Structure 1
């Protein structure tokens, strides 16, 4: 198998499954949701990007099949570069497709009381949702540089999860020091345009509920 064809097959296996999962979801939920609701789902308005990529893979495979076999073993043609360039120019959309395909919201037809897609940062998805109380959002490569108010020491923290409680209209964030994993925080989270703000949770039962919800989410 030539290098180009090997690349094409791997890409189609991976992205073809994601495309199938998302398009199947769209066909299943469309009868139950208004267009105005569907358009808010990030994958819905961008699915044509993935559809075009699958077609490009098919076209590239056909082109590769017409090449002399001895050339396909040793030389990559422009089709592989074109495919890579297309993915690079749509990097954010492809990352979104990966996350949407793993998201609990993908096949949901409920009238959502959460922020849903509007609350997702790039490279995040809903890991778990209890429908009417709390959801848990997982993030990839989301870190924050924070200074401890007590010690005055600045550290970088990995965001393990953000949790939204729609009944209290509260957003929480769970942080872990990337150097000292025993150094963890659960805080109120107030994301902003220019900067994020945080607050201490003083209610013990509220704190314990957030912690328990996180621990039960199979992270």
Structure 2
């Protein structure tokens, strides 16, 4: 198998499944939610980008199979380069669609009070949601530079996840020092337009609840 055909097969296996998952979800939820809410789903507004890519894969596979039968001298990787160029032009959309496919919101029809797609950051998806009070979002590569107010020492922390409590209208963030995996802590999380802010949790019961919730979600 040529490199082009091998590339196309692998891409169809990956993105073909995601394309089917997303369209299946749209068919399932469309009868039960308002159109304005459907249009908030990021996978819904980006689905045509993926549809075009699937069509490009099909066309390239058909054309390549035909030409290879008659022109064995054709330059290898031509189609891979063209297809990769399309993906690079829509890189953020493809990353978003990949995360949408893993998100707890994908097939959900509940008209909830969570931020859901409106609060979605690049490279993230909702891993767990009880549909009433709590959801947990995980992140691919969110690193924060934070300074300890007591010591004045700055460190880089990986965000292990955020928790949204829609009943209390509160957000929490779980952090891990990238140089010391035992150095973890939880803060209030205040998402902002230009910058985010964080605060110390002083209520012991509230802190324990957040810890137990995160630990119970296998993050």
TM-score range, shorter chain: over 0.9
Q: Distance in 2 between matches of 1:67 and 1:150?
A: 68
TM-score by length of 1: 0.96
Tell whether 2:99 aligns with 1:99: yes
Q: How does 1:61-140 map to 2 (within 5 A)?
A: 61-69=61-69, 75-140=75-140
Q: How does 1:160-179 map to 2 (within 5 A)?
A: 160-179=160-179
Structure 1 equivalent of residue 38 of structure 2? 38
| Kept in 1: contact 2:4–2:78 (CA 8 A) | no
Number of positions where the alignment pairs a residue of Structure 1 with one of Structure 2:
219
Deviates more, 1:44-53 or 1:71-80: 71-80
| Kept in 1: contact 2:29–2:108 (CA 8 A) | yes
Q: Distance in 2 between matches of 1:150 and 1:73?
A: 68
Q: Distance in 1 between matches of 2:44 and 2:65?
A: 33
Q: Distance in 1 between matches of 2:71 and 2:193?
A: 53
| Kept in 2: contact 1:3–1:73 (CA 8 A) | no
SS of the residue 1:110 aligns to? coil
| Kept in 1: contact 2:68–2:74 (CA 8 A) | no
1:190–1:76 CA distance, 2 compared to 1 (3 A): same
Q: Cα deviations across residues 66-124 of structure 1 (Å, max 9, x unaligned)? A: 22359658832532211000000100110011100001111000111100111110010
| Kept in 2: contact 1:64–1:72 (CA 8 A) | no
Q: Cα deviations across residues 126-184 of structure 1 (Å, max 9, x unaligned)? A: 00001111100001100100001111110000000000001110011000000011111
1:128–1:73 CA distance, 2 compared to 1 (3 A): farther
Aligned-residue Cα RMSD (Å) equals 1.4
Unaligned runs of 5+ residues in structure 1 are none
SS of the residue 2:171 aligns to? strand
Q: Which portions of structure 1, spanning 4 or more consecutive aligned residues, are displaced by more than 4 angstroms? A: 69-74
Q: Distance in 2 between matches of 1:19 and 1:28?
A: 14
Q: Distance in 1 between matches of 2:71 and 2:147?
A: 58
Tell whether 2:67 aligns with 1:47: no
Tell whether 2:57 aligns with 1:57: yes
Q: Distance in 2 between matches of 1:73 and 1:112?
A: 58
Unaligned runs of 5+ residues in structure 2 are none
